[in-house]
A and B are shown apart, each in its own frame.
Chain A
């Protein structure tokens, strides 16, 4: 029944992630970490890192990663199919409506309300990854904080925001930076 669970979980992820990859992240976290415990928070964070580094939509990447770990290749295929199935129906329907009417005013209003909510959800997902980096999922305290991680985060954020560096380059530099610090200390 693991196949059915995978299918159902990723169907919900495909159905409710509106607005692209980052919007899917909180849903993937809810389904795979909180609800089913298929991944630990640390594995989930690794998954997001890997998904950022590789081509392809994060939802499809996650479906494959989780599916193959839980139930092998069939699991990966079933999870991926689950996550694109809502799109196959809804987008095909939208395509039909678009070519027929080319007028979607109520959809515009729904999207306008969804957008700020989606931003908040992405913010929450980003912050929980930052907390994972800083405190490793343990109690929040200044003593046990991972200061190297926090400095890397601050430097990376500045590089992205102020200097507009390439995100993949920034991530790789963070990885190398942490390795160097780890080897020295």
Chain B
């Protein structure tokens, strides 16, 4: 790629991510939909199947889905520089917005009317989170996998009742997945 064309691609990548990140409310899955629209449908930089694979990778890796997706698309479009460009474009809007909000937060939170609104909104947030949990939990129940149901129940009791460190719970569940994969592989080997 010529030097000028590459530079132009990087700028386009940067402003695309900046725009998508600044105007996407509602979490990682929403931002991925916007990225697909931009990079697959509009710019044609990535084909649809590949974008689906990148989505799965972004979801299954640790960290924020939006940042992960930016890293993947960045590498794909512009190599290392593309990755750095995409990530900066993605984190710049939230850093700016939250910096401004946190500067005013103390004054904001001390205002009795604002406090009333925030307090009411907390009830809404609890509902939003538990609504998401309801949907996710139903999906786990639908798999009808006893192991997964036990994992879900055990993890809940461990964290909510006993206050076990979240990181241990995630490590334990991940380890279980490795063991299950190995058992599966052994079974498959015997069957052949």
Contact = CB atoms under 8 A, between A and B. Distances in A.
Interface residues of B, number: 89
Interface residues of A, number: 105
Interface stretch (B1-9, B40-48, B62-70): B62-70
Contacts of A90: 61-63
A84 B67 contact: yes
B173 A55 contact: no
B118 A49 contact: yes
A59 B91 CA distance: 10
A35 B22 CA distance: 31
B137 A60 contact: no
Nearest to B183: A109
Given A113-B173, A130-B130, A172 B72 contact: no
Given A17-B62, A59-B64, A178-B123, A54 B176 contact: no
B169 A121 contact: yes
A111 B60 contact: yes
Contact of B124 (A21, A43, A171): A171
Contacts of A4: none
Nearest to A56: B94
Interface in A91-134: 91-92, 94-95, 98, 102, 105-130, 132-133
B125 A52 contact: yes
> Looking at chain A's contact residues, is the secondary structure mostly helix, strand, loop, or mixed?
helix
B71 A83 contact: no
Interface string A137-174: 00000000000111011001101110000011011111
Contacts of B117: 175-176, 178-179
Contacts of A27: 166-167
A27 B126 CA distance: 17
A60 B94 contact: yes
Interface in B20-67: 21-29, 53-54, 57-67
Residue among A92, A106, A120 with most chain B CB within 10 A: A120
Interface of B: 21-29, 53-54, 57-68, 71-72, 75-76, 83, 87, 91, 93-95, 97-99, 101-103, 105, 109, 113, 116-134, 136-137, 140, 147-149, 151-156, 159-160, 165-167, 169-170, 172-174, 176-178, 180-181, 184
